[in-house]
Amino acid sequence: MAAEFHLRTGKLVALLNGNRTAKRNKPTEEFNHGLAMSREPLGDGQLFQVRIDRKVNSWSGSIEIGVTALDPSTLDFPSSATGLKGGSWIISGCSVLRDGRSVLEEYGQDLDQLSEGDKVGIQRTPGGELHLWVNGQDCGTAASGLPPQVWAVVDLYGKCTQVTVLDCEPVLRREEPLRTAATEEGFVGMELSDVVNNAILSAYNGNLLNVSLASPPDGCSVTSNDALLFHEKCGTLIKLSNNNKTAERRRPLDEFNNGVVMTNRPLRDNEMFEIRIDKLVDKWSGSIEIGITLHNPNNLDYPATMTNLRSGTIMMSGCGILTNGKGTRREYCEFSLDELQEGDHIGLMRKSSGALHFYINGIDQGVAATQTLPTVYGVVDLYGMAVKVTIVHNHNHSDRLRRNNAIMRALSPDVGRRIFDSGDVEVERLLFHPNCGQKAAIVCEGRTALRPHATDDFNHGVVLSNRSLRSNEIFQVRIDKMVDKWAGSIEIGVTTHNPAYLQLPSTMTNLRSGTWMMTGNGVMHNGTTILDEYGHNLDRLKAGDTVGVMRKEDGSLHFFVNNVDQGLAASNVPSNVYAVVDLYGQAAQATIIDDIELPPLPDDVLEGNNQISPCSLFSLTPSNDLRFHHLHGNNAVITNGGRTAFRQNCRSEFNDAIVISSRMLREGEMFEILIQKMVDRWSGSIEAVNLKTPSYLGVTAIRPEDLEFPSTMTDIDYDTWMLSGTAIMQDGNTMRNNYGCDLDSLTTGSRIGMMRSSNGDLHYYINGVDQGVACSGLPPELYAVVDLYGQCVQVSITSGSLPVDNSLSLSNATEKSFPLLSPVPGITHRFHANCGKYVALQNDGCRAVRVHGFSHGIVFSMKELKPDEIFEVKVDEMDEQWSGSLHIGLTTLQPFEITCASSGLPASLLELRSKVSWLVSGAEVRRNGALQKQNYGFSLERLTVGNRVGVKRGSDDTMHVFVDGEDMGVAAAGIAKNVFAVVDLYGKVVSMSIVSSSTLEETESTKPPSMSSGSCSEEEEDLSPCENEASVFLATIEFMENHGRNILLSNDGHTATRVASYNQGVVASAQALPRQLLFQIRIDRLNTQWTSSLSLGVIGHCPDRFNFPGTASSIKRSAWLIQRGSVFHNSLKICDNYGPNLDTCPEGTVLGLLVDNTQGLHLYVNGMDQGVATQDIPSPCFVVIDLYGQCEQVTIVTNDIMAPGSDGSHLCCQGDVEKAGVVDGIKENLCWTPPPEVNSMKTCEYQALCARFKELLPLPDGYFNEELKCNLCYCESCRKLRGDEAYYKRGDPPKDYALPFGWCRFALRLNPRCEVTNVYKKWHTAYHGTCVGSLRRTLDHGELVSAGSASIFCSKQAKVELQNGYNDPEVNSAQEKDTVKVSLSPTMRYVGLDRFCPKIRFKDVRSQRHHQAQVAFQVCVRPGSYKIGPPSAGTGESIDPRFSNNEIEWITKERASTVLYGLLVRVE
């Protein structure tokens, strides 16, 4: 076989070097369309091998290789190799796919990790096996059963842009397969996720986390062919899906048991069987149970619940263990399965010793049973609340990432009996839920709620927490802004109602169920006052005051005002309650606070109605990323996200409670704690110390694992300096006495801090007052350590540091170069020395000044940005003589590559094209100067002195721009990995200073609230329906990155695919929908496994931060949705029988939405307007689409299909046919029909039923048109889907006729002579009723004649009938003498009556049900050959509103005056 590529390739591939080298064009602009195939089929045993010549970093994914049975000479090349069908095996990453579906999830070496110069090949063995070769090593069998003739396939996908074919030689000897696990040398061949797993294990080793997450060891490799799945035999209510990885209990609201499922094979020793809870319901008590059983699922008669099985079964139920249905361990662990939530993981493992262990979110709960038998099956009982679970495979990449997230969530403080903490892992933050009152808005990433028009209205300001409160968890808000126009003020409380489904009232006191509220100085339950005089009056609070609520573990409810507990407000409050705040009356804005202490608002805010920027509320709050480390003394417990430490058993234990800071202290940094609780049982109090870090720890500053925590810090005898009472001690020995403060004299509420200055002096601070130098000569690498000894029980790290004397700092930076109020504390960013020729850098690279002109002001960050790291600058000076403003973005250009700044950089960032750059200029987003988006966020043209602008590269490869701390949303996607921040001091912006630091990410407590109530600036103009705007919208339209959790976007955001389940598939447009612009999507793929299908509509709020529910019908705020054939507003049906039933739309259907100038919403189906669905659509609005049920994939096609009123010349559907050439849908002599891709035959069950009846008739196929697309169904759904009107005109002169609604037409073969004479265009259309027995005779004659009993419309019978059924054309005299009379009608409402179309009963072969059917003909009748008259049936009622009864029947006596056009069938 020649070592060459085939000449036919993907559309972006260019062949070079005698067809031996394949190159993908536009490698940084396109990632697919790079298919290349071998010139000839592979020979047996021959290796087709390529060398990777070039890779780029712009994309994810890389080379894909495999074989296909498809001949490249005739192949229509798809965009990628995974799109090949018809016998194709492709290796992508470390997965093997057959015809696009995964058959092996963990195989060989990960192709994505190969580098330039690596060799990869494919081989078909003589035995029909597929082998992958990487750098000369055989990876083993990837697939078997290959056909004898296959071509090699290479996909230059993603990063891989060029390959060269090497000589193809037969392979005589198989090498030893590659090992994919970590080699002895290190992480070679190990996936990134394996490294993450190992990092988690090393961080939480010992007894904290005893579970292996890395790849299976040698000899235990588990491929997907032998993966644990659910057995096909299961409980009577169980439905399996997802290749038997997912089990779901049917009718969960009606039945609570019969949900038992088992594994498909016995568990191996030390093999983890783990499931994820996908769905719970609140109706029942009890929940999931899991365990093992000796019973083989093939032979087991499944019980209603596994606890009924009395032999060979061990189950975990609640927090106990049941053996054969009886309790053997009542309190196995403090985790209760009944309290787990959706997303939690449960696992079990039978150790090689026979011991059985259970795991909750990856945490080993210990031995549940010993000496279990070796052959056991895993078993899960979906009981009570548990409805749906999915098996989690450790070797599955996506499952592993979800598992790691679940483990990290399990390690948060409030989950279960073990309490851990890390500086990088925190519990889920309490935020406001996006579903809020009509007059409220949620900003600042869910932290702040406000009434934007507080002076216009006093209610409709209800907001709820995004999750339910945990026991003893306080939900606390600070009042940011008040108005004095109204009476009343903020109200706070709890409710059992889930905010996602709650129809929010105007005020919470109107809610009559499950609600407790503090209002004024009283407490109300379900709208009724239960306490009149309770606590501080909330109506008297001012801006800056705080209010909170807490449900304690015993069910009691307490309210807090300015951190003071107001006492018991209610008892027996159920668990799972949500916090609720009512911004009522004077209360205009509130922010959630989760720190122990927040600095008060400035005086000008406290005065009342000052119109302050919301951003200022947080700008005065210095952040503090210091936490307590998760390693600590035995009696210490870390809570509150690492900010709080307390000693448990404080009245029986007085020591063993040492805690240490999560990282080293910086020079001049204050570490301050607040004493929150003390007991009077012991003598002595707190001891505060500093501990030197040994040099061998390296950079792992937050892992002081070499410290063996003693009972008290005075027992450490090396590198330790401490204050105990009034004594300063070093290494356990007293250095000096009578220091300026006495720790034993401190009380609850005291603050104590310490700081190491730049010259090595240690200072202590009591309530912010410096106590002087305690000791000198300390090294720089120090951790803060606190010993909760004696009376001191609980302390918390304060959220802010006191102003520090710059003389104590090592840095000489001034306040401008290193602002004290930097949004993120730490080592500040710097500008790179290579910059524009008119830029001068000052203050150690923290400030940039343009010294001349208006351009040449480009500056770069000193280092590459880490994922989610914000690079932020503040505008210091502006010169209004210039126009234009600052530009900011990201670039792959490395500043140290610029050899000469004056010649290596352009005058403006817009002209930077040498490397890929993404930037925001004004309100536009550009990539290498090309416009990508308009109207993005806050326009940078409006920046003023003091405004802050930042840029971030997200971990999801997106670019975000921040203005004064507010995220403007996704500016661009597909950002390269290694990028630098770049800023252009352009136009009126003359100087700027860096205000960000190099910490990994900004803490939530430092993020300021938004600048406005919405996602866009209030000054932005509304979109107008002009041509320019429409063209911009068409060029940039795409789906938003924020979408349902089962959605995967591709095709540059133009295609949305639901990758799992039947719901969680909501997507929205990334841009607002302008007026008079048609937004259209095409249904690409349907899955008949499910019922129902997509719905679509618009929402009146920006969806970039919206938490999409499981279905679009659950959106209950400013939402208009078209579902099936109905219209819904905020989940309430407002219109029925609108348009076609969307559930019947087949693949290829094009659906569109348009908002007209009168705010009316229109639905378009294949280009046909279905009329106004609803009115009063707000502006702006965003398109929302729910890929539900059968609908699995849609693609935006607005760019390809013209909007109404456009001048497009191509035809999309019936509505696009020119009027000049069509009367009723027929253009020239072509039969009108939807294009093949929208033919409703694919899904219309009625048409299929009519077709099955037609097959029962003895009619030759030769009479019918072979093209199925000419067959039309006129049922309600199909005719609405096409947009059919009820009446059309045809003929010369035109004559009205009605479409045969309710019937199905099967097109007859057209007579060529009739086509030549334009019969089908010039003659009129009519219908003729007949019976089944006359069909064949009529078809044989080719026209309506009365031969024998040809029709009940005939007045006489024909005189002569030949045996073959044809009349002798030469015998004219008798036929002319016995003239026939044929009756017709322009409407089927008349000829479809039973007397004209007698019904016949038949049995459907598929459903075995009995039906009644009628038949008729659609005919063309020559104008002038018939007479119009009243109905012969003699009815007096109006038959058809379009036709008078005096013209309902047409009579013709002329021969050859009718031509058969179609057979009509109606089935009841």
The answer to whether the CB of 1212 falls within 8 A of the CB of 1086 is no
pLDDT band, very low/low/confident/very high, at 733 (cuts 50, 70, 90): confident
Asked if the model's pLDDT at residue 1153 lies above 90, the reply is yes
pLDDT band, very low/low/confident/very high, at 1447 (cuts 50, 70, 90): confident
- Residue 1314: phi and psi, rounded to 5, are -70, -35
pLDDT of residue 468: 92
Residue 630 in tokens: 């998760």
DSSP string, 1322-1340: HSEEEEEEE-GGGHHHHHH
What is the mean pLDDT of the segment spanning 1306-1328?
A: 82
Asked if the model's pLDDT at residue 695 lies above 50, the reply is no
**C-alpha–C-alpha distance, residues 859 and 852, integer Å:** 15
Asked if the model's pLDDT at residue 1218 lies above 50, the reply is no
Which of 311-320, 1045-1054, 1077-1086, 1272-1281 has the lowest average pLDDT?
1272-1281
pLDDT of residue 817: 29
On the question of a cis peptide bond just before residue 1180, with omega within 30 degrees of 0, the verdict is yes
pTM of the model: 0.29
Phi-psi region of 1262 (alpha: psi -120 to 50; beta: other; left: phi over 0): alpha
Asked if the model's pLDDT at residue 1239 lies above 70, the reply is no
**C-alpha–C-alpha distance, residues 653 and 639, integer Å:** 19
pLDDT band, very low/low/confident/very high, at 1076 (cuts 50, 70, 90): confident
Model pLDDT for residues 182-229, shown as the tens digit of each residue: 333 333 334 444 444 444 444 444 333 333 333 333 333 333 447 789
Which of 199-203, 581-585, 960-964, 1072-1076 has the lowest average pLDDT?
199-203
pLDDT of residue 273: 93
**C-alpha–C-alpha distance, residues 1119 and 1132, integer Å:** 10
Residue 127 in tokens: 């035995």
Work out the angle at residue 1133's Cα, subtended by the Cα atoms of residues 1127 and 1139, and round it to the nearest 5 degrees.
25
Highest mean pLDDT among 615-619, 819-823, 1252-1256: 1252-1256
Name the 3-class secondary structure at 1278.
helix
Model pLDDT for residues 89-117, shown as the tens digit of each residue: 999 888 898 988 888 877 888 898 898 99
Work out the angle at residue 1163's Cα, subtended by the Cα atoms of residues 1044 and 1230, and round it to the nearest 5 degrees.
120
Residue 1216 in tokens: 């696009």
Asked if the model's pLDDT at residue 1024 lies above 60, the reply is no
Highest mean pLDDT among 14-23, 207-216, 714-723, 1002-1011: 14-23
Between residues 1148 and 1122, which one has the greater pLDDT? Answer: 1122
pLDDT of residue 820: 30
- Residue 1315: phi and psi, rounded to 5, are -65, -40
The answer to whether the CB of 61 falls within 8 A of the CB of 157 is yes
pLDDT band, very low/low/confident/very high, at 957 (cuts 50, 70, 90): confident
pLDDT band, very low/low/confident/very high, at 1030 (cuts 50, 70, 90): very low
The answer to whether the CB of 650 falls within 8 A of the CB of 679 is yes
Between residues 1145 and 397, which one has the greater pLDDT? Answer: 1145
Tell me 1146's DSSP state.
Answer: -
Which of 247-251, 1018-1022, 1303-1307 has the lowest average pLDDT?
1018-1022
The dihedral built from the CA positions of residue 402, 404, 409 and 415, taken in this order, carries a sign that is positive
Model pLDDT for residues 864-906, shown as the tens digit of each residue: 888 888 999 999 999 988 889 999 999 998 887 776 544 578 8
**C-alpha–C-alpha distance, residues 474 and 455, integer Å:** 30
pLDDT of residue 415: 35
On the question of a cis peptide bond just before residue 1293, with omega within 30 degrees of 0, the verdict is yes
What is the mean pLDDT of the segment spanning 276-284?
A: 87
Model pLDDT for residues 4-13, shown as the tens digit of each residue: 999 999 999 9
**Amino acid identity, residue 205?**
N
Between residues 213 and 708, which one has the greater pLDDT? Answer: 708
Percent of the chain with pLDDT over 90: 28
pLDDT band, very low/low/confident/very high, at 1069 (cuts 50, 70, 90): very high
Asked if the model's pLDDT at residue 382 lies above 50, the reply is yes
CA distances from 348 to 24, 306, 380, 749, 795 (A): 48, 16, 11, 46, 38
What is the mean pLDDT of the segment spanning 1023-1030?
A: 37
Between residues 629 and 603, which one has the greater pLDDT? Answer: 629
Please identify which residue in the block is written with the tokens 């050439």: 1221
What is the mean pLDDT of the segment spanning 1422-1434?
A: 84
Asked if the model's pLDDT at residue 1187 lies above 90, the reply is yes
In the chain, the N- to C-terminal Cα span, in Å, equals 63
Please tell me the number of Cα atoms within 13 Å of 934 on its side-chain side: 16
Question: Average pLDDT of the chain?
Answer: 78
What is the mean pLDDT of the segment spanning 428-437?
A: 88
What is the mean pLDDT of the segment spanning 1040-1056?
A: 89
Residue 1271: Cβ within 10 Å count: 23
pLDDT band, very low/low/confident/very high, at 1096 (cuts 50, 70, 90): very high
Which H or E run includes 606?
Answer: helix 603-606
What is the mean pLDDT of the segment spanning 262-266?
A: 94
**C-alpha–C-alpha distance, residues 985 and 855, integer Å:** 7
Give the strand order in the sheet containing 980-984. 858-860, 980-984, 887-891, 917-921, 924-927, 930-933
pLDDT of residue 393: 72
pLDDT of residue 133: 92
Asked if the model's pLDDT at residue 805 lies above 60, the reply is no
Between residues 1143 and 713, which one has the greater pLDDT? Answer: 1143
What dihedral angle (degrees, nearest 10) is formed by the CA atoms of 1058, 1063, 1068, 1073? 110
Between residues 697 and 669, which one has the greater pLDDT? Answer: 669
**C-alpha–C-alpha distance, residues 580 and 1380, integer Å:** 84
pLDDT of residue 658: 87
Buried b (16+ CB within 10 A) or exposed e, 20-53: bbbbbeebbebbbbbbbbbbbbbeeebbbbbbbe
Asked if the model's pLDDT at residue 1047 lies above 60, the reply is yes
User: 587 forms bridges with which residues in the sheet?
Assistant: 482
Asked if the model's pLDDT at residue 289 lies above 50, the reply is yes
pLDDT band, very low/low/confident/very high, at 1467 (cuts 50, 70, 90): very high
Cα 972 to chain centroid, rounded? 17
**C-alpha–C-alpha distance, residues 1197 and 1080, integer Å:** 6
pLDDT of residue 756: 82
Phi-psi region of 732 (alpha: psi -120 to 50; beta: other; left: phi over 0): left
- Residue 1369: phi and psi, rounded to 5, are -65, -20
Per DSSP, the chain holds a count of helices (H) and strands (E) of 13, 90
Between residues 205 and 1126, which one has the greater pLDDT? Answer: 1126
pLDDT of residue 169: 62
**C-alpha–C-alpha distance, residues 489 and 482, integer Å:** 9
pLDDT band, very low/low/confident/very high, at 1379 (cuts 50, 70, 90): low
Q: Is 1243 exposed, middle or buried (0-12, 13-18, 19+ CB in 10 A)?
A: buried
pLDDT of residue 1065: 93
Residues in the chain: 1468
**Amino acid identity, residue 1409?**
R
Q: Which residues does 1458 contact at the CB level (< 8 Å), separation at least 6?
A: 1328, 1343, 1344, 1382, 1384, 1419, 1420, 1421, 1422, 1452
Asked if the model's pLDDT at residue 1105 lies above 80, the reply is no
Asked if the model's pLDDT at residue 1317 lies above 80, the reply is no
Residue 823 in tokens: 């949004």
CA distances from 643 to 188, 628, 671, 1449 (A): 38, 6, 12, 89
pLDDT of residue 610: 39
What is the mean pLDDT of the segment spanning 1160-1164?
A: 90
**C-alpha–C-alpha distance, residues 443 and 1100, integer Å:** 16
Model pLDDT for residues 458-493, shown as the tens digit of each residue: 888 999 999 999 999 999 999 988 988 788 899 999
Name the 3-class secondary structure at 1449.
strand
Model pLDDT for residues 749-802, shown as the tens digit of each residue: 788 888 888 888 888 888 888 888 888 888 878 888 888 887 888 888 875 443
Between residues 1281 and 1114, which one has the greater pLDDT? Answer: 1114
What is the mean pLDDT of the segment spanning 989-1017?
A: 53
Percent of the chain with pLDDT over 70: 78
Residue 849 in tokens: 């000044």
Asked if the model's pLDDT at residue 1021 lies above 80, the reply is no
